[in-house]
Structure 1
Amino acid sequence: MSTLDETFMPLDPANYLNTAEDIAAYLEATLEEDGDDSAAIKRALGYIARSRNFSEIARQSGISREGLYKSLGEDGNPSLSTIIKVAHALGLKIRFEAA
């Protein structure tokens, strides 16, 4: 019998979001699974921002770094304007289609 101490770390999606395609697929999956849960979408955007240079996303979106942290943080509530700005800074477009 082995006495190996196994410690598991929580999965951090930020470690796997390397391309714009990865990011788009992750957001689409989040919307499909949790589309009516704004907290899940905010959490996904936070992971994505951490996967990139957070300061650069803040600069490109025209939002202060602190403001972006606050918006995407656990208690944050980003406006649609913030979400659109972050999406554009990440090279993404937001679109709607008929259900």
Structure 2
Amino acid sequence: MRTIKRTSRAKPFDAAEYLDSPEMIAAYINEALESEDASAIAVAIGTVARARGMSAVAEKAGRSRENLYRALGGEARPEFGTVIKVLHAVRIDLVAQPQGSKAA
């Protein structure tokens, strides 16, 4: 009997490929924020930066591309200033609101 080796041609899921509008980006980041997991939040912001072009985001944020990959890869804990600069570079505002209320 001959064994047929099957190889998967499916490429791994990459959320960055689907973050093509400001609304999708905001929803994606909000989901990460709701997790209260600092690593997940950093990875989500990194995914958004990749979706928008890491080099362009790094330039707008005043950071090196390599620095952003390290800071937003999930292993490191990025400085809050870096997070804010990257969010502003991808045109997302971080807004505080009372718990239990919905954003407008």
Common fold by TM > 0.5: yes
Tell me the residue number matched to 1:31. Answer: 33
| Greater C-alpha radius of gyration | 2
**Aligned residue pairs, count:** 95
Kindly, what percent of the aligned residue pairs are identical?
39
Q: Deviations over 1:28-54 (max 9, x none)?
A: 12222x1x2101101101111111111
After TM superposition, the structure 1 stretch with the greater mean CA deviation from structure 2, 52-61 or 68-77, is 68-77
1:1-99 → structure 2 map (5 Å cutoff): 5=6, 7=8, 8-32=10-34, 34=35, 36-99=36-99
In 2, the alpha carbon distance for the partners of 1:71 and 1:81 equals 12
DSSP 3-state at the match of 1:18: coil
TM-score, length basis structure 1: 0.85
5+ unaligned residues in a row in structure 2: which ranges?
100-104
In 1, the alpha carbon distance for the partners of 2:74 and 2:25 equals 20
In 2, the alpha carbon distance for the partners of 1:76 and 1:10 equals 23
Cα shift at 1:9:
3.8
Q: CA RMSD in A?
A: 1.8
TM-score, length basis structure 2: 0.81
